Amino acid sequence: MEKKVALITGASSGIGKELAKIHAEKGGDLVIVARSKNKLESLKSEIEKQFKVEVKIIIKDLSKFDAPQEIYDELKKANIKIDYLINNAGFGFLGKFHEIDLQKQINMINLNMTSLTAISHLFLNDFVKRNSGKILNVSSTASFMPGPLQAVYYATKTYVQFLSNALSEELRDTNITVTNLMPGATATGFGATSGMDKTSMFQKTASAYDVALDGYTGMLKGKMDVISGVPPLLRIMLALIPFMPKNIMLKQVHQMQEVK
């Protein structure tokens, strides 16, 4: 049986790192992408030794406009066919929109939305030509609502959810699937990087492995949406969002994201 090759962005830590290990454990080869050369080289060594698969690393900052095309061209040149595209790279910041550095927010938009769109477009064309392939986009439960104190981050994740769902429908009559993974608060570096680790939302977090496994399993099954790492009470709240008065919902989200 031919090995499946997965391309995973943001693979140096957190959910992306766990996704890489899960795919390797199933015997698949990998292309792992991130900015940190040391972390990727360490992960490559660990995975190749433990699972006897091939791992190619690509050092790239996906907030840069040309990065998706450069990744695609490098893999074409190396004659590496991608079977699973996993768009995991992303970041956020906690704070008021007008107080957060503008360039940081532009970089967030470039990484969370523009880059994801470009790399999906590039590889999806190949998937369509051979009528096979799977895409897993890591969104967030933040995609269900506006997010005061993380206005741009929530907006970008809503884009990821809506894009993923639309592509899923466009490809309904093909052998290609697009899965939208929506993690809740997860024990990764994101909490500390964004400042969310000091809020009530991150007092209890899911493990990155559990979230990655839910997403990977959902991708293999061709599910459109996967919610993971969310306690029952919050699941009920997410289901009720469309019926809540918007001003009450916004106030609640605002309070949950305030640093205590």
Nearest to residue 177, comparing CAs of 215, 211, 209, 141?
Answer: 215
Dihedrals φ, ψ of 226, to 5°?
A: -135, 120
Residue 148 in 3-state DSSP?
Answer: coil
Q: How far apart are CA 248 and CA 229, in angstroms?
A: 24
Quote the DSSP letter at residue 199.
B
DSSP-assigned states of every residue in 80-122: PPPSEEEE-------S-TTTS-HHHHHHHHIIIIIIHHHHHHH
Active site residue 72: no
Q: Which of 72, 153, 154, 216 is catalytic?
A: 153
Question: Is the distance from CB of 226 to CB of 168 less than 8 angstroms?
Answer: no
* HSE of 214, CA atoms in CB hemisphere, 13 A: 21
Please list the active-site residues.
153
